[in-house]
Amino acid sequence: MIERIKKAADIIKNAKRITVLTGAGISKASGIPTFRDKNGLWRKYSIEEFATPQAFKENPKKVWQWYNQRKKLIKQAKPNKAHYALAELEELFKDGFALITQNIDNLHRLASNRRIYELHGNIFQTKCLVCDKVYLDEDVYEDEQLPPACRYCKSKKTRPNVVWFGESLDTSMIKKAMGLAATCDVFISIGTSGAVMPVAKLPQIAQYMGRYVVEFNADYSTISMFADDVIIGKAEETLPLLVSLIKRGRG
């Protein structure tokens, strides 16, 4: 594993443009459950019951209760060493760095990353279905307050600003992500299973365009077949080592 990290560091240190894709695995060490591993959320809860437009239409309060509890859990979480390693990587590569994330937990921002593309939204944003406003909302509500009233028009027709199963990603956002995958020098995939389309296509695009693709994950995934190197281990251990070696090589 160490040799593969050294190889990746040697390639990355000479790159100009770095595109990173992160999934739930990077936040596991922060105490946020992943979705598809043996203890994942979708083994305990039903996607159809909590994370689809139909579920929200049938029982908006129940969906809000679930997301309200997730907000409470996530508010207690802190970025881990993997998040901070990516913040260091952005500092090294400046405008040549881009971070695409499937996560809605806001931890990349808390770690000081700035060039972030949140493909699946942000749990700390609320969208009003009446006035169409999207706004920051970090409050955790009592059950009788759900759904929370819009801060602008006071309507109770609000929803978490996240992408649910059965919904399409923002077209401009996914086009931007695909462009970043196609034009980078190095594509780094971290902690994602590669099970959700069209995000899973991003490493494929990078590979097709001849970019160096490296995967950091707790186990092999569907992305592994498109990677030049796969580094198995805990991201909070492997990523700080990677960044340390890159800094040493660039220094």
For the chain, the farthest-separated pair of C-alpha atoms sits apart, in whole angstroms, at: 57
Determine which one of 109, 120, 127, 211 is catalytic.
Answer: 120
**Structure token pair of residue 226:** 């498109």
CA distance 15 to 117: 21
For residues 29 and 234, the answer to whether their CB atoms sit within 8 Å is yes
CA distance 6 to 76: 34
By the 10 Å C-beta count (0-12 exposed, 13-18 middle, 19+ buried), 176 is classed as middle
Residues β-bridged to residue 127: 134, 159
Whether 120 is a known active-site residue: answer yes
Query: Which strand (E) or helix (H) includes residue 43?
Result: helix 41-44
By the 10 Å C-beta count (0-12 exposed, 13-18 middle, 19+ buried), 180 is classed as buried
How far, in Å, are 99, 197, 251 from residue 52 at the CA level? 26, 16, 48
Residues known to be catalytic: 120
